[in-house]
Chain A
Amino acid sequence: METINIICVDDQPEVLDSVLRDLRPLTPLVRLEDASGTADCMRLLDQIDAEGNHVAVVISDQVMPGETGTDLLAKIANDRRFRHTKKMLLTGQATHADTINAINEGQVDNYVDKPWEPEKLLGVVKRLLTLYIMEAGIEYQPYMSILDQKTLLSKLH
């Protein structure tokens, strides 16, 4: 069976671990993957796509060595393979210009400040996951327990 993946990107392993832990309630229905930067994330995206699996959400930090989170999300936004993939910026350091870029270039679906509240983060990811499943035309029934009911209802009607 094909898997649905959520990728978290951050150059600080401690932060990455925290995000993954907060999203663990979504497992094992979806797989949580982590990447240490833009390049690493692109490799991971290629791999998941090559295996015929889904990338539902990418959650990225903004300030990282090499390319920024916005750069990464912009790449994903312009990649046909990931046209349904939801993009999220999780950062405490974005400047005003970064934010504008993230919206215009990265076409982010959501923006969460660091430090984040676990429930809020989980809620946002559930919403984005629900949108992805509906838009990508995946049978949603098996995932009912981790979907956002309100989003689901609005998409069903």
Chain B
Amino acid sequence: MISLPDEIMRPLKRVNRVYFTDPDRILAVPAGEVLVRQDEECHRLYLVLRGTFVAYRRTDNFEGSHLPDETQVRGQEVFRAEPRSYVCVQSFFSRSYHSSYYIVALEDAEVAYIDDTTQAVEPEKYGSLERQFTPVLVHELAARNSRIFTHVSEKEEAVRLLQRAEMASTLGQLSAGIAHELNNAVGVISRRTDFVANNLSDYLHEDEPQNAQLFRFGYEDDSFVSAADIRAKARQFERELDLPQEAAKVLAHIAKEPGDLSKLGSRFVKNLRKNYRFWELGHDLRDLQMAARHASGIVRAVKLLGGGTSSREGGVDVNQSVRDALNLLVNKVKTMRVCTELNEQLPTITADPTELVQIWTNIINNACDAMQHANTPEPTITIRTSPLHAEGLELLPTDYVAVTISNNGPEIPEDLREKIFQPSFTTKKKGLDFGLGLGLSIVRRLVDSYNGTIELHSNHQLTSFTINLPTTQIHGND
């Protein structure tokens, strides 16, 4: 309700008491009923006693020339009138007696009214009807003013969001284009590396099988031995076998188990002293291959993000979408511990992989920012997927995939938990993250569009988002 000074409120209360309490001039308006029609004659001024009314304005370019029937009144909502507000003020006092809106009861409502035959009460004391109704006019002015302010700020907000969305979409398209070009280049690197490695291996084999063996050891090296362990072992070989530092290091990579050295034999070690470079050559090609694979993983994820149009298909692997998201954020999560518990029995779902990747990247990205900002010690992100069966929910799907993304960052304050999903909300100063759009508001919008749910739990130890997505989509949902 509009708040006005006492000088206005007191006479306003009198007007309401004196003019709007006649039982013969009180109407009950059931929900959905039209109180006043746009452009039709109306000689009354209404006061809402109970319930809410919506005022619609039908624009001229409305399809067809016939008036829509009452249940089909559509158009733009202009304002809502709640108890103690007045309706048809302008048409009544301007004596145009034509309403500019359809006024429809949103719920069962009640109004009181006066009309153009109503006479002033106690004019000798309070003046003419117009004079007595001045507070009503002031009230109407104040109400319209506040409506304009709301509209202007809403419009500004909408324009701002639109600009951000446009920026995000431009970035998305741009990155999709780059991703496509890179994909071809990376593909060439990956394939040719394989060709070169195989040819070289054959060639070396004809010349000296032991060098070919060294080369293959290097190319197929998949050990995850720590730098410190390699260093220690290399030092030992350097001393005991009197090998040059580089050769000793190569041997440390090849002879991982205690018995390996005797299995390889002294002839192998003798050859290694001179020809350790063949191992390095193989290892170089292996690194090329690994780098190409890594690059194509990122390209794939960027392509997914820039995908644009939504097309939902069955058989989508949620675990893969989580891996894609992590690939995309590889640099961001580098300084964090990432634990994944991806359930291998997870059912596939009907979805657009692009949208899934967007959901995960936005949540993970936010978690990283929050932890970085708060300087969380030992920042950890855990991602768990699991199937979920919900029995007894009529008309709702029964099978879901649950994805829980948790972090040990700062607690999200109680009063912010709902706000963080709003498009305008941010705790960050400024800047648009690379292609990642509007953060959690996108998450909310996407999850809603799947008829999924978001659960948020947060305390000082753990903050976790659980997204439940139905495995199937009912027609018309998307």
**Interface positions of A (Cβ within 8 A of B):** 11, 13-14, 16-17, 21, 24, 27-28, 31-36, 40, 43-44, 63-66, 93
Contact = CB atoms under 8 A, between A and B. Distances in A.
Contacts of A32: 245
Contact of B335 (A34, A36, A65): A65
A65 B334 contact: yes
B291 interface: yes
B231 A34 contact: yes
B244 A14 contact: no
Which 9 A-B pairs rank lowest in CB-CB distance, beginning with the nearest?
A: A36-B227, A14-B287, A40-B228, A34-B227, A65-B335, A35-B227, A40-B227, A31-B245, A63-B334
Contacts of B287: 14, 17
Q: Which of A14, A21, A44, A64 has the most CB of B within 10 A?
A: A14
B283 interface: yes
Interface string B212-248: 0000000000000011100100000000000011100
Given A27-B246, A28-B244, A16 B334 contact: no
Contacts of B280: 21
A16 B226 CA distance: 13
B290 interface: yes
Given A27-B245, A44-B231, 10 more contacts: A14-B290, A16-B227, A17-B287, A28-B245, A34-B231, A36-B228, A40-B226, A44-B228, A63-B334, A64-B335
B277 to A, nearest CB: 10
Q: Which of B226, B228, B244, B290 has the most CB of A within 10 A?
A: B228
A115 to B, nearest CB: 12
A80 to B, nearest CB: 25
Interface string B284-297: 10010011000000
A28 B226 CA distance: 24
A36 B334 contact: no
Contacts of A21: 280
Contact of A33 (B231, B290, B291): B231
B228 A14 contact: no
A134 B284 CA distance: 36
Interface residues of B, number: 16
B431 to A, nearest CB: 13
Q: Specify the main secondary structure of chain B where it touches its partner.
A: helix
Given A36-B227, A40-B228, A63-B335, A14 B245 contact: no
A115 B226 CA distance: 24
Contacts of B283: 17
Contacts of A27: 245-246
Nearest to A34: B227
A21 B250 CA distance: 13
Interface string B244-288: 111000000000000000000000000000000000100110010
A14 B231 contact: no
A66 B334 CA distance: 9
A36 B226 contact: yes
A11 B226 CA distance: 10
A34 B291 CA distance: 20
Interface in B303-336: 331, 334-335
A40 B232 CA distance: 12
B118 to A, nearest CB: 73
Nearest to A35: B227
Contacts of A31: 245
A137 B152 CA distance: 75
A94 B93 CA distance: 69
Contacts of B228: 35-36, 40, 43-44
Nearest to B228: A40
Contacts of A14: 287, 290-291
A44 B235 CA distance: 12
A56 B334 CA distance: 29
Nearest to B286: A14
22 contacts: A11-B334, A13-B227, A17-B283, A21-B280, A27-B245, A27-B246, A28-B244, A28-B245, A31-B245, A33-B231, A34-B227, A34-B231, A35-B227, A35-B228, A36-B226, A36-B227, A40-B226, A63-B334, A64-B335, A65-B334, A65-B335, A66-B335
A11 B228 CA distance: 12
Contacts of B226: 36, 40
